[in-house]
Amino acid sequence: MREADDLDALVRYFNFKREPSCGSRCIDMGRVFAFPHASYPPYPEKLPYVYQEVVVGRQLNELHLVYFDSGYGWYRNDAGDRLRIAPGTALLLYPGFYHSYAPDEDKGWSEYWVGCDGSYPQWLIKEDAFRIKNTLTRVGRFHGLRDDFYQLCLTATSHHSPTIKAQILGGMINRILGRMLVLQNTPGGRMEAAENDAVETIIAHLENNVEGDVDMAELPAMANMRYDKLSRLFQNTTGMTPHQYYLDRKVRTAVRLLQSGLSVKETSYRLGFESPYYFSRLSKKKTGQSPQTYKQGDDVDAE
């Protein structure tokens, strides 16, 4: 599989002459990181001028879907509304709609996007199928959108012929648009803003303290809700309890530390495990492999 780092600064524009039989044509797509205190967009030389105008305001000619999987920022529409972007936010932009957005200077973010046209997107626009048009919706980070976009990136960098690539990308775009239709119409598919903010606050706290020791008993006060409710909402978003999520992030971080050259003992103590033995047991339970395996340089999915 392609290394994830190859996709972290991916920008692609396509010139597919014919509309694929699936009804959706990919115009452009990308995956970029905007680092704190760096200019935005991060790679203006790769973008046509209208795309560079994202901070001051722009209009696009095609339907655009943007998905932010980490970081924070803001979005402004032509009505003057300024809305908060947080991890797990999706943004669906109709053609000709004036808008602007950018990450917080001190936080940055990572984003995926895809622009498309064709008979299917045009039909969705004509039927006014999306209630979420030209605004933000918080779908969370574990509803499949991130995986869909990641596969889109892999296909964009594949060696398929232009005709085959156009068909595959069009089909993937249909899947993404379909997923957004389902999410907006599924009861409970989108959390209320306050609940979403509470879960994102806890996620950020756990990830920011992955090398420390978080007291789970303190989380309800941070979220301003009972633990049972917090745990339910957290599981709806991540598929795990806060404690499971915290251990999962520790193990994923441990893999990176081991591959960078740290010993098992050093990694264990740096991440606050009670002993190297406990760390080894947990690693094997979570990943199916011992820490020594990663020390030997085997590739793993340590997102």
151-155, 221-225, 262-266, 287-291: range with lowest mean pLDDT: 287-291
pLDDT at 185: 66
Q: Is 121 helix (H, G, I), strand (E, B) or coil?
A: helix
pLDDT at 247 over 60: yes
Peptide bond into 187 cis (omega under 30): no
Query: Contact, 174 vs 119, CB < 8 A?
Result: no
Residues 8-44: tens digit of each pLDDT: 788 899 998 889 999 999 999 999 999 988 999 988 8
pLDDT at 96: 93
Distance of alpha carbon 147 from alpha carbon 142, whole angstroms:
9
Q: Which residue has the higher pLDDT, 206 or 198?
A: 206
Q: What is the DSSP string of 152-173?
A: HHHHHTS---HHHHHHHHHHHH
Residue 198 is given by DSSP the state H
Query: Contact, 127 vs 165, CB < 8 A?
Result: no
Query: Contact, 277 vs 239, CB < 8 A?
Result: no
Distance of alpha carbon 294 from alpha carbon 13, whole angstroms:
37
Residue 4 is given by DSSP the state G
Residues 40-75: tens digit of each pLDDT: 998 888 888 888 899 999 999 999 999 998 888 899
pLDDT at 109: 92
